[in-house]
Structure 1
């Protein structure tokens, strides 16, 4: 019964995507015709930002580490505030004036083709990790709650996201995401009071919880350090910036992204608390990332468990379509039209972007079937993306003397340093500092040295 309801919900999402994009053009696919209102922009950003890591992953961190897991989603909210007030309106004006449709278009106009090509490579390598993370979470959810084999869970999520996104790109995604955002926030928000013990959470927790379980800034491996890992990604993420391009004006950017930031900051406490509640009734789970699926299956009334399950399904699928958006539009615009066939027409780009969406979805499903941890997989994506793109994008907006050589030096130094330290230290970093922080420092240093040499 649960699986049938989920499949019906998935079919409804596909229908909404198809209906809203029956006459989609290339401009609709890439930037929704630049007519997203503040409400639609906020909805599509919320749906993109609340995914596997923000729900299943954050609840698992709450189960293991306590309330400090707030920083996993809270860091995204703080980064979104910077996007709303500083970066977003400025880059939207440039995109509207010069008809930019991807972040690669901006990097090309500011630094040249080489920088755009390198960004596209980083994007493809990193984004496939986050796409697989969404499908891993969805597969684990369907396996725990509905008994669906893990492989088929990955396939179901990949097919649903690919079908409604490929219908119309950002135009169809924005309509579907508005429904998904309402379902996912309402479903998990209602689950919290229903699972809350009458004696209070603090009293009901088993004595085996760590001593820092209620420390707001640091508990276990979670805490304020997530701000360095995640915050920059939500300022310069190519997928989020391309959604910002779709706003109808700079005011819509400020309001829509700020609403998204406010929702993220408020929502950030819900998954960790649900994970902590799961520790009350399931104190010995072999895998902490099972906390939320087990809570939905065993500790909620059937109707509410079904709604929360639909919320999680929405979360995983909506973020998967956001990643497909980044991957397919970057391939069609930055690689195909930018390098392989500069004279490509709008119709050709539209065909390529749809084929790229299908190929990306297929590769993401294959990686999800093979890969493991949700949080580890997403951490890899955020680290590489932040270290490789944050400094060049911000320097392009605010440092006039930064050029092609400086941007390339910053991107290469940041990405290579982060990747090497991630592999060499298994993510632990050096001197207690995460690899992504060293990567950002290396990127900023490379930019500064290149500017001095030029001068």
Structure 2
């Protein structure tokens, strides 16, 4: 394993070094939170792919392939479809808004302060996403070093917190590009072909698996629909995803780069399912499907190459963890601290907030064994409570602030009650929550006065790119001034 350790050590050192470079670039609030809104096609596409293709897409995607065959690709496919839909229909307008958070968008669209509920839900979602991603480090570092879970969480979490605090979104973007390249080489160009060859090639694979492993829908229609509603729609409105959209240099870059990223996700999803299917042929008696990735890497690949692929898995975890951490920090500083202080935060405040939240996430990850249920709660409330108000504001001018607030409250309550009745992991909560939220949004909006024409006019100006540049986009000094 000496060669593997060397590759991993080089990777970790590179991530910290890139974080140091990012610190020199992060001189303003805009630099720290949205990379100065200066990313071009390649960097935008790479960082968007890195944030959405994390441990669940890599280790979990291979595990689903091990259990369900090619239909195990649907989890990642719905992520790719969500990214494609976001960039095909909404990204251009989001870039023109020049805001930092989803809650700021709601304020602009509906007028007044519509963000309390949205801010609380988004903060909980991004924090739990950070915790879940941090918890995943336990598995990788246990495989690498044989250390206890808490030590693995501390090592991986500390690396992410360090480079995130140093340079904010610039450091995260630069490390994401490196991680994107490593994942592409390690998973698509190394592990996928070697797995298929070891399993006897496409023909040999088809002969050695059950027939349903080659059925693209064998995972079940209900599961596919739930994936679309939870993950596909969740990607349309998540703060961690929108914050990457805000980094684009122009609406054209966001649209083109995002569509490339969505297509990449589709390829990645199919690759993971095929690797998992090959693992089923080679190692049919694994006790846990999630062990398929680590098993096929450890047993099939030679030293050095094995280290590269493990670095690819580590890359997947770090990109998601750092993206969730900076999103949680942004919601905290922009939607909470700014309102409490009555003034914009500066880079120093953002760094301190990111550090504190990173330490909290590491501590929570060490204190629990499994936060999947908590993350499911956050995702269900995110989609069931906020999706209608956010997308409704983008596509329906008759939607009102009262309708948005009613849909957020009712949708969130229905999701919580449904989870209590049907179980945290049931499919029903997301269906009932979305349905109730949609009905409330439409009915209350139609029964209440239209949104102030001046508010709508300002919104139309901003989304067309013809309006004045907002104050938040002009904050380009350490002190937050102009």
TM-score (norm 2): 0.86
User: Aligned match of 1:14 in 8, 13, 16?
Assistant: 16
5 Å-filtered alignment, 1:55-66, equals: 55-66=58-69
Task: Using the TM superposition, name which of 375-384 and 303-312 deviates more.
Answer: 375-384
Q: Relative to 1, partners in 2 of residues 1:390 and 1:193: Cα closer, same or farther, differing over 3 Å? A: same
CA displacement at 1:304 relative to structure 2 = 2.1
* Matched residue, 1:194: 194
Kindly indicate whether residue 395 of structure 2 is the aligned counterpart of residue 398 of structure 1. Answer: yes
Spell out the pairing of 1:163-182 with structure 2 (5 A cutoff). Answer: 163-182=162-181
Report if the CA contact (8 A) 2:122-2:238 is conserved. no
Q: Write out per-residue CA displacement over residues 56-95 of structure 1, whole angstroms, 9 at most, x where no aligned residue.
A: 1111122122221211111111111111111110121122
Unaligned runs of 5+ in 1: none
The secondary structure found in structure 2 opposite 1:247 is: coil
Contact 1:57 1:374 in 2 (8 A): no
Gaps of 5+ in 2: 450-482
- Does the 8 Å CA contact 1:139/1:153 hold for their aligned counterparts? yes
Give runs of aligned pairs for residues 140-179 of structure 1, distance below 5 A: 140-179=139-178
TM superposition shift of 1:373: 5.1
2:329 alignment partner in structure 1: 328
CA contact under 8 A between 1:217 and 1:224: conserved in structure 2? no
Q: Write the deviation string for residues 312-359 of structure 1: whole angstroms up to 9, x where unpaired.
A: 11110011010011100110111101x201124xxx432222222122
Cα deviation per residue 1:273-313 (whole Å; 9 max; x = unaligned)? 22222222332222221211121112222222111101011
CA–CA separation in structure 1 for the residues paired with 2:408 and 2:202 = 45
The 2-side partners of 1:29 and 1:22 are apart by 11
Q: Check whether the contact 1:17–1:165 (CA below 8 A) recurs between aligned residues.
A: yes
Mapped to 1, the partners of 2:142 and 2:448 lie a distance apart of 57
Looking at structure 2, the residues matched to 50 and 233 of structure 1 have their Cα atoms a distance apart, in angstroms, of 14
Choose 6-15 or 150-159, whichever is displaced more: 6-15
How large is the RMSD of aligned CA atoms in angstroms?
2.3
Give how far 1:426 is off: 2.2
Aligned to 1:243: 244
Report whether the alignment pairs 1:185 with 2:184: yes
Per-residue CA distance 1:94-148 (angstroms, 9 max, x = gap): 22xxxx1222221222235643222221112222222222223221122124312
Distance 2:61 2:377 in 1: 16
Report the TM-score, using the length of structure 1 for normalisation: 0.91
CA contact (8 A) 1:131 1:364 kept: yes
Q: 1:121 to 1:282 in 2, by over 3 A?
A: same
Question: Which of these two proteins has the greater Rg computed from alpha carbons?
Answer: 2
Q: Does 1:413 find its partner at 2:410?
A: yes
**Distance in 2 of aligned mates of 1:408 and 1:245:** 25
